[in-house]
Amino acid sequence: MGVEVIKWREGTLSIVDQTTVDAVVEAIRQLRVRGAPAIGVCAAYGILVGIRENGSADSAAVIQAVEQTAARLAATRPTAVNLFWALDRMRAVTARAEAAAMSKEALYRALEAEAAAIDQENVALCEAIGRTGAPLVTENAGVLTHCNAGALATAGAGTALAPLFRASEEGRRFTVYADETRPLLQGARLTAWELVQAGVEVVVICDNMAAQVMREGKIDLAIVGADRIAANGDTANKIGTYGVAVLARAHDIPFYVAAPYSTFDPKVATGDDIPIELRPAEEVSQGFGPRTAPALAAIYNPAFDVTPARLITGFITEKGIIAPPFREGIAALRETGPND
Amino acid sequence: MGVEVIKWREGTLSIVDQTTVDAVVEAIRQLRVRGAPAIGVCAAYGILVGIRENGSADSAAVIQAVEQTAARLAATRPTAVNLFWALDRMRAVTARAEAAAMSKEALYRALEAEAAAIDQENVALCEAIGRTGAPLVTENAGVLTHCNAGALATAGAGTALAPLFRASEEGRRFTVYADETRPLLQGARLTAWELVQAGVEVVVICDNMAAQVMREGKIDLAIVGADRIAANGDTANKIGTYGVAVLARAHDIPFYVAAPYSTFDPKVATGDDIPIELRPAEEVSQGFGPRTAPALAAIYNPAFDVTPARLITGFITEKGIIAPPFREGIAALRETGPND
């Protein structure tokens, strides 16, 4: 199911074969690695790349390399919380190592193990999200999704797509409407591709057709992923998600957000406190090669938007569906962690 | 102001220099001529092209050529009513000519005059729509528009854009947010270009960003054009318009439709009776040259949607703004015609 996009084998991180921190930073910034969970996994492995690159003569040098690499990786993209969450986990390893006066070799092995744990945990979280969400995807359902929250975004089976893969494995037939998701067309290019590979019927639509397919009665539920979820349930996700949520509400269509505990950020009270990344104008004006907007026109290109909690029917998580009011359910999910 | 896109000079219709009915049909079908009013003007001139192409030995032959050409032009695009309205006007000339036993030359001159009248009337209608709508565009306003309803769509100053051109001429400064309007990007390519030419500040956004710019408080009103308006006010326009209307309502933003009397279709009771053109999948999957969706994914590409009257704040027409309830105002507009 899906495609493994991030690999750490024999001390080398391969995505598009990233061997330097510069290359990892660039891969995240240029969206060659994208999707909140995948960025987290990539950042964890990126720490290992930083240590190797640095030569790191002793434990202190390893710890310094971790700090420096983490700072550089943290500066790549502001919105997706999994990035910071993964870096925090790696830094926690060095903090424990310092306390235990660990050898350089032991520390490196501990960091390698933590990155692998984050990676494997992600895979397991995706599978669990799939099990939680699959019952929502009934026979002959029409499901709308936006952007790509599949294997190509998560180092696993996906978040939003996991319930679809699972429902398909369970033998149900249904149709997925994939918003193409301008400017970078992750829906048309990635989601549609993943679903075709999995044998799921997929219909690609332009983003501005979502309202019409809802009006035509083609959509029974919407499932999207998330880049960061505030303590109250406000959800940052790919630009356009908020619009889909408003449209879903206007058509009485349930709107679900699929995400693991690591995407919930208890430090952020509401969506107002989630930083929204603005991306280069050229993604919009020259997204396909030739210029499609006049040079003298301004471009506004926010990469994400925030969907207020009131528009969200529920969160599909590894522990089950969190229904409104969300605050308690979200707090409980964060407290228990992945293994409880 | 703007650009003249349809010309009839010395017996030749030039758009991209159309000299045969085949070429006119193809120009409309391939959207080289697009926008409801422009298609109407082009069809009127297209009738003249049909007569010349036919050789048309006598009045009866001219009338036959009009019928045959009208039938071919009517089959090009089903949604925009101005096409059928213009053809009806041209056919009404032949009906009168038949009754009056007009000579071949007199009939041709009468048809030529009618086509020119439709053209000039469109120019005047656009100007009047501009005068009606300009007061809505106040200093520092943020205005959202979708697709292109400017000079490139109307053989005049435009419908949705006319109030913007006029407000700018009156010295006000404001910002227009232009939805790029997938799949064919008429907003990014045409609307943005026209506004830049007119010195109006324009910001191009992807369609899926409209909700976010509304949420950020950047939009004070939305103005769009129309391809056909039913007797009850339900409005067919470029795909995505319905979504903009739902979003505008959710953000308490006034949503206006700008259109001349010829876009209102009294024969159609509600939007349910307006045929919606489905266009080729390739517009979505290969709109920019390279393929952006997998070959095995289906594509849904409706060219228009219908915005229910309840989401429309008012119609900006050549005779003033029609406010709800719309039925009476629409009936009155159609009855008086352009010159009363």
Judge: B288–A292 Cβ closer than 8 Å, yes or no.
yes
Whether A227 sits among the annotated catalytic residues: the reply is yes
Could you give the CA distance from residue B33 to residue B226 in angstroms, rounded to a whole number? 16
pLDDT in tens, A82-122: 999 999 999 999 999 999 999 999 999 999 999 999 999 99
Residue B184 to residue A171: CA distance in whole angstroms: 38
Tokens of B75: 């089959």
Q: Which residue has the tokens 């517009």?
A: B283
Residue at token pair 């005779």: B319
What are the Cα distances from residue A224, in Å, to A160, A179, A261, A320, B150?
A: 5, 11, 15, 16, 36
Whether domain B131-336 has CATH 3.40.50.10470 = yes
Angle at B306 between CA B263 and CA A244, to 5 degrees: 140
Q: What is the mean pLDDT of residues A167-173?
A: 98
Does residue A69 have a pLDDT over 90? Answer: yes
Instruction: Give the chain A residue nearest B246 (alpha carbons).
Output: A247
**Confidence bin at A10 (pLDDT 50/70/90):** low
User: What torsion, rounded to 10 degrees, do the Cα atoms A199, A205, A207, A209 define?
Assistant: -130
Selecting from B205, B211, B287 the residue whose C-beta is nearest the C-beta of A300 gives B205
d(CA B228, CA B33): 17
Alpha-carbon separation of residue A240 from A78, A125, A195, A244, B292 (angstroms) = 18, 25, 21, 6, 19
Residue A56 has pLDDT above 70, yes or no: yes
Distances from the Cα of A330 to the Cα of A234, A321, B256, angstroms: 11, 10, 41
The nearest CA of chain A is from the CA of B203 a distance in Å of 4
**What are φ and ψ of residue B145, in 5° steps?**
-135, 160
Can you give the pLDDT at residue B7? 67
Q: How confident is the model at residue A9 (pLDDT cuts 50, 70, 90)?
A: low
The whole model's pTM is what? 0.93
pLDDT of residue B10: 61
From first CA to last CA, the distance across chain A in angstroms is 26
Q: Tell me, what's the ipTM?
A: 0.92
pLDDT attached to residue B19: 75
**What 3-state class would DSSP assign to A29?**
helix
| A window 14-43, beta carbon within 8 A of B | none
Q: Which of A119, A227, A234, A265 is catalytic?
A: A227
Number of other CB atoms surrounding residue B88 within 10 Å:
12
Phi, psi of A202 (to 5 degrees): -130, 140
What is the least distance, in Å, from the CA of B107 to any CA of chain A?
A: 45
User: How near does any CA of chain A get to the CA of B200, in Å?
Assistant: 9
Q: pLDDT tens for residues A207-252?
A: 999 999 999 999 999 999 999 999 999 999 999 999 999 999 999 9
Distance between CA atoms of residues B338 and B340, nearest Å: 6
Strand partners, A177: A144, A203
Cα–Cα distance measured from residue B70 to residue B90, given in angstroms and rounded to the nearest whole number? 9
The alpha-carbon gap from B298 to the nearest alpha carbon of chain A, in Å, equals: 4
As a whole number of angstroms, the distance between CA A87 and CA A93 comes to 10
The 3-state secondary structure of A224-281, one letter per residue: ECCCEECCCCCEEEECCHHHHHHHHHHCCCCEEEECCHHHECCCCCCHHHCCCCECCC
Window 100-159 of B: residues touching A by CB (8 A cutoff) are 146
What are the structural domain ranges in chain A? 7-129, 131-336
Residue B152 is predicted with a pLDDT of 83
Q: Which residue bears the tokens 């999704």?
A: A145
Side-chain half-sphere CA neighbours of B146 within 13 A: 35
First-to-last C-alpha distance (Å) of chain B:
26
Q: In chain B, positions 218-247, which contact chain A (CB-CB < 8 Å)? A: 239-240, 242-243, 246-247
Q: How far is CA A141 from CA A179, A216, A250, B156, B332, in A?
A: 17, 14, 19, 46, 45
Q: Does pLDDT of A185 surpass 60?
A: yes
Task: Determine, for residues B195 and A292 on separate chains, whether the beta-carbon distance falls below 8 Å.
Answer: no
Segment (H or E) for A98:
helix A81-99
- C-alpha distance from residue A52 to each of A21, A62, A88, A97, A109 (Å): 10, 9, 19, 18, 12
Cβ–Cβ < 8 Å for B209, A240: yes
Give CA–CA dist B53/B78, Å, rounded: 25
Please report which helix (H) or strand (E) contains residue A193, including its range: helix A192-197
Q: Does A270 touch chain B (CB under 8 A)?
A: no
From CA A256, how far away is CA A261, in angstroms rounded?
Answer: 15
Q: Which residue of A has its CA nearest to B200?
A: A297
Q: What is the pLDDT of residues A254-310, one digit of tens each?
A: 999 999 999 999 999 999 999 999 999 999 999 878 899 999 999 999 999 999 999
B95 touches chain A (CB under 8 A): no
Bridge partners of residue B175, in order along the sequence: B142, B201
Q: Does B185 sit within 8 Å of A212, measured CB to CB?
A: no
Q: What is the predicted pLDDT for the residue at A34?
A: 86
Which residue(s) pair with A265 in the sheet? Answer: none
Count other Cβ atoms within 10 Å, centred on residue B260.
29
Q: Which CATH class is domain A7-129?
A: mainly alpha
Mean pLDDT of chain A: 92
How far from B188 is each of A291, B66, B168, B221, CA to CA, in Å? 10, 37, 20, 19
Mutate to test the interface with A, among B164, B181, B201, B209 (most CBs of A within 10 A): B209
What are the backbone dihedrals phi and psi of residue A256, each rounded to the nearest 5 degrees, phi first? -110, 145
What residues of chain B score a pLDDT lower than 70? 1-18, 336-340
B227: left (phi over 0), alpha (psi -120 to 50) or beta: alpha
The 3-state DSSP class for residue B193 equals helix
Taking the C-alpha atoms of residue B226 and residue B208, their distance in angstroms, rounded to an integer, is 21
Q: CB distance B240–A208 less than 8 Å? A: yes
β-strand pairing of B228-229 with B235-238: antiparallel
